Amino acid sequence: MTILPDPNASVASLLTPDAAKAASLAASTATAPGILTIDLDAIVSNWRKLEKTAVPAEAAAVVKGDAYGCGTGPVTRALAGAGCKTFFVATLGEAAAVRAVAPDVTIYVLDGFFQTTGDEFARLNCRPVIGDLYELAEWDVYCRRTGWSGGAAIHIDTGMNRLGLTTAEAQSIVPRISVGDHGITLVISHLVAAESPNHPINAKQVTAFREIASLFTGVPASLSASSGIFLGSQFQFDLVRPGAALYGVNPTPDADNPMQPVVDLKARIVQVRNVERGDTVGYGATWSARRPTKIAVLSAGYADGYFRAAGSNDGTRGADVIIAGQRCPVAGRISMDLLAVDVTDLPPNAARRGHMATLIGDGITVDELGHHFGTIGYEVLTSLGPRYARVYTGGDAKPAAPLASAPAEPVAPAN
């Protein structure tokens, strides 16, 4: 007997889960104004390179800020699958997202402990990073009251003057280490200028941290995040905490980037138009055409994390995008939802409505874009907006559907 599908059923209900997911992905990429592709294999490769650089120290992974804008769940799952055992987040909400996909890993919460959060730390089985004696007292009270023995890290300030016990305060709690059940599982500090290898504060901090950490007998120590790993073995201690480098940001700004690029960002061309010599483009009329000019308008702007600072005017060149394999300069100010690009030098019909332009990728790095934004690659990644369709490749992600484009306009004769 042949069973015919219910004619009233939706198409999605007739698909397998994987097919439904692929159909949903294809639909979202076809309708989204932009597509953000995240390469999980590149993230894993970057973690392994950092792990190898820091041997014999353990390499943890910092996945705060939604894994620097790349997605906590997919990134954590890929890294845990690759063997990463320790993760750092900023908040308990982020810890919950990690625990949902990685039930057996160790999670440290950098923003610390409050007496009202103890039950959630216990429920998630994660560890606070304690940077204040009041926090430590509240944590002790909670542990005595409930019998919780999940452990905690102690943050010692060696120069950042942001979070952390002073070295004198840290020395005052050293006697508890002689007590068998002290509950301290890690001591950490944070470098101020690790991206500047010759900065004198690096030597000052590593000396101070080595002296105080040595008093916490038997407790692992951690000083370095991404850039600090490349300052040498004396900075690596027992555990390193890479964050931005995992996601392709250059941890050694004065040298070639040792990390693989992770993100590719594309925006759709929504219109191609001609402007006459002397005409202006965009708000404020700050950019004017010096010749008859062809402009492509893209569906991305500062609401999508493409900062207004990347625009151009008659005296200053802004950022570039890549269309048809060539770099094309931004023309005028960035709007909330749109940006304009000068495509005059492209071959006829190379830039067409519905085609995609590359904002990050194909040689345009997050660090380059950060320069145009007047900031750093970290902020570029964490600002990427929710309107992009997100596509994951590698790791345990399903093969991505081809990036869909809206039908291009019919080819018109060249002007």
Q: Which residues are catalytic?
A: 64, 283
User: Per residue, what are the HEC states of the chain?
Assistant: CCCCCCCCCCCHHHCCHHHHHHHHHHHHHHHCCEEEEEEHHHHHHHHHHHHHHHCCCEECEECHHHHHCCCHHHHHHHHHHHCCCEEEECCHHHHHHHHHHCCCCEEEECCCCCHHHHHHHHHHCCEEEECCHHHHHHHHHHHHHHCCCCCEEEEECCCCCCCCECHHHHHHCHHHHHCCCCCEEEEECCCCCCCCCCCHHHHHHHHHHHHHHCCCCCCCEECCCCHHHHHCHHHCCCEECCCHHHHCCCCCCCCCCCCCCCEEEEEEEEEEEEECCCCEECHHHCEECCCCEEEEEECCCHHHCCCHHHCCECCECCCEEEECCEEEEECCCCCCCCEEEECCCCCCCCCCCCCEEEEEECCECHHHHHHHHCCCHHHHHHCCCCCCEEEEECCCCCCCCCCCCCCCCCCCCCC
Q: Is the peptide bond before 407 cis (omega within 30 degrees of 0)?
A: no
List of residues 6+ apart from 48 with CB closer than 8 A: 82
Tokens of 83: 């063997």
- How far apart (Å, rounded) are the C-alpha atoms in residues 357 and 341? 10
Residue 358 pairs in a beta bridge with 266, 322
Report the side by side order of strands in the sheet with 184-188.
61-62, 86-89, 106-109, 127-130, 152-155, 184-188, 221-222
Q: At what angle do helices 72-82 and 40-54 cross, to 10 degrees?
A: 50
